[in-house]
């Protein structure tokens, strides 16, 4: 196993391991973490379901690319991929921990709190940013056509999920408080003003 394969395996185990650990922790508290497609219809349901499908397909393409060490990337780009995926893990895990039990996968109608502290002071969507950075990182590590198509498609669907589902739900749930927060913090990274 090459350094790049080992690094990718560790990065993905940490990423998906933290996701499933949080899911198990919430299940013990009676919280249904996965809300993808639940209680939605039409376009909103389609966005979540297609996002979920691409999220599964990209993992399969990542696993195959790692197993085959299928990469057209030069060494320096592969190192950049390790760094991007590491930053993705940090963003995702920090966001998930900061949200505590308000965190869900997919839009939920559960009563939760609006979290604006910690990492949420510089990103309204650190978990989504984490997904994007991990997808980008693994893509840079194992660049090939299939992984590129699936990674970019998953990233696009995550973006559509934020724009058409998450932000609308946040405005419904938190109104002016969320609108004010939108005016202060960027969707992915950085503060306004």
Instruction: List beta partners, residue 185.
Output: 191
- pLDDT tens digits, residue range 71-92? 999 999 999 999 999 999 999 9
Residue 34, classed as helix, strand or coil, is: strand
Is residue 78 exposed (0-12), middle (13-18) or buried (19+ Cβ within 10 Å)? buried
Residue 27 in any domain: the answer is no
* Number of domains forming the structure of the chain: 1
Residue 192 in any domain: the answer is no
Residue 57 in any domain: the answer is yes
Q: Band of the pLDDT at 106, cuts 50, 70, 90? A: low
Q: Of 45, 190, 58, whose CA–CA distance to 123 is shortest? A: 190
Cα separation of the two ends of the chain: 48
Residue 61 in any domain: the answer is yes
Residue 28 in any domain: the answer is no
Instruction: List beta partners, residue 191.
Output: 185
Give how far the C-alpha of residue 78 lies from the chain's centroid of Cα atoms, to the nearest Å. 21
Q: What is the pLDDT of residue 173?
A: 87
Q: What is the pLDDT of residue 70?
A: 95
Q: Is the dihedral of CA 41, 47, 52, 57 positive or negative?
A: positive
- CATH number for 160: 1.20.120.1630
Residue 29 in any domain: the answer is no
Cα 174 from Cα 179, distance rounded (Å): 8
State the pTM of this model.
Answer: 0.93
Cα 59 from Cα 135, distance rounded (Å): 9
Residue 24 in any domain: the answer is no
Name the residue range of residue 63's domain: 3-19+35-105+115-184
Residue 165 in any domain: the answer is yes
């Amino acid at each position: 196993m090459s350094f790049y394969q080992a690094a990718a395996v560790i990065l993905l185990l940490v990423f998906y391991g933290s996701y499933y650990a949080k899911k198990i922790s919430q299940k013990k508290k009676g919280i249904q973490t996965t809300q993808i497609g639940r209680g939605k219809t039409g376009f909103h349901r389609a966005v979540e379901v297609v996002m979920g499908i691409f999220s599964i397909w990209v993992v399969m393409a990542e696993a195959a690319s790692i197993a085959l060490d299928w990469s057209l990337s030069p060494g320096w780009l592969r190192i950049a991929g390790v760094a991007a995926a590491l930053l993705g893990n940090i963003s995702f895990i920090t966001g998930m921990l900061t949200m505590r039990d308000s965190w869900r996968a997919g839009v939920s109608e559960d009563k939760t709190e609006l979290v604006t502290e910690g990492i949420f002071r510089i990103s309204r969507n650190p978990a989504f940013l984490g997904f994007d950075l991990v997808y980008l990182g693994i893509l840079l590590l194992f660049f090939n056509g299939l992984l590129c198509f699936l990674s970019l498609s998953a990233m696009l669907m995550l973006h559509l999920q934020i724009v058409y589902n998450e932000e609308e739900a946040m405005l419904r749930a938190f109104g002016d408080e969320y609108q004010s927060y939108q005016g202060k913090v960027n969707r992915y990274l950085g503060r306004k003003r």
